[in-house]
Amino acid sequence: MNHPSQPRSRAASSAWFAEALGHFPGGVNSPVRAFRAVGGDPFFAVSASGSRVRTADGDELIDYVGTWGPAILGHAHPVVVKAVQEAAARGTSFGIPNPLEVELARRVKARFPSVETLRFCNSGTEACMSAIRLARGFTGRDGIVKYDGCYHGHADSLLVEAGSGALTLGTPDSAGVPAALARLTHVLPFNDVEALEDLFRHRGDDLAAVILELIPANAGLYVPRPGFLETLRDLCTRHGVVFIADEVMTGFRLAPGGAQELLGVRPDITCLGKIIGGGLPVGAFGGRSDIMERLAPLGPVYQAGTLSGNPLAMAAGIATLDELERVNGHRRLEELGTLLDQGMADAAREAGVPIHWRRVGSMFCAYFTDHPVWNLTDALRSNREQFARFFHGMLGEGIYFAPSQFEAGFLSTAHTPDDLLATIQAARRVLARW
């Protein structure tokens, strides 16, 4: 196995990617994996455990992507693997109600008081798409509000000034979205109370829902200013607009009750995913019972899924949440995050490189800018060429950060202080070469 500091030969990954280009658009099955934002070709992973990913080229990387968030316990945690194996032995899918659905729902509701009833689905995209349809069916209105830079999956109504992979590719408005549908989506700048109040003053009674990431993590990572979410909650209540919190990334990660626990806000509907499936495909949306009861079979809003409540995902989610609680995971993650904060800030200062480092709990982002970042406009001012240089420098040191300025990084309970010290030392070496 190559030492992390040695130059890498990626012959095996290059061969796999060359064939993949003939099978998949761009050679990948999700756009940001293509490395278009940072240049070069992606590596291929063959296994992962704990805080490490092993590549087809025989390299071992300290991983801060964590399968884009779900791996809060690290990769292939023995408790989760055992739960999935035992569930698979009983049957990989039923298409029939099973007790694990009830067990996981019980755990979700215990940690999210705003979720009175819920429904499982198969992805965060599906959860957000379904929540929007439900809000329209509940209110009888068509208009929705989203925030620039917030990514809620690839449903048509939501791919308007989106974040995540859409930003990575430089195409925040996707082709294939009907103009008539896009006109029903009002896009506001995050943290802009004045714009929010003005829209509600003129269109509040036409709106079905506002959907946003309470802490946006698909344009890097930034946080709400004091009073912003409180104003949004008040306006939604006064105008009968459904407040949808997208906690697909932040749910169970920033606190047991997600960002809404951290920030003290109560949405009408919450969208979840990632961690609640323990690394398997999963999504969920839930909230006020009077809204959720509009779903079929009780109401006229149709939503269904063959693999919804799949026993493998349910088992993995139960095991993940129980283990996270057993080891007091959030306290450990905060300790690790504090160590990473201090070290990365020191490395940037010593090198004289302007980096705006942002961390919330176990999520982080390094913007290459000397200005604070509060919204998408601020994020777009960061130096993406410097980020790409940093990304490849760190990858050459055996550290895998997300291959885009506009993606958050993730810590796991499997990361050790030694992992973080190795990462900080690598950052010192990379930045010192500038």
Catalytic residues: 151, 246, 274
| Coil/strand/helix, residue 417 | helix
Nearest Cα to Cα of residue 273 among 408, 409, 123: 123
| Coil/strand/helix, residue 249 | coil
Count Cβ atoms within 10 A of the Cβ of residue 103 and give its class: 0-12 exposed, 13-18 middle, 19 or more buried. middle
Angle, helices 384-396/417-432, rounded to nearest 10 degrees: 120
Nearest Cα to Cα of residue 247 among 270, 266, 268, 224: 270
Cα–Cα distance, 175 to 156 (Å, whole number): 10
**DSSP single-letter state for residue 39:** -
Q: What is the DSSP string of 251-312?
A: TTTSSTTHHHHHHT---SEEEEEGGGGTTSS-EEEEE-HHHHTTBTTTSSB----TTTT-HH
| Coil/strand/helix, residue 361 | coil
Cα–Cα distance, 286 to 206 (Å, whole number): 23
Nearest Cα to Cα of residue 380 among 39, 149, 147, 146: 149
Nearest Cα to Cα of residue 340 among 368, 367, 359: 359
Cα–Cα distance, 204 to 234 (Å, whole number): 12
Count Cβ atoms within 10 A of the Cβ of residue 316 and give its class: 0-12 exposed, 13-18 middle, 19 or more buried. buried
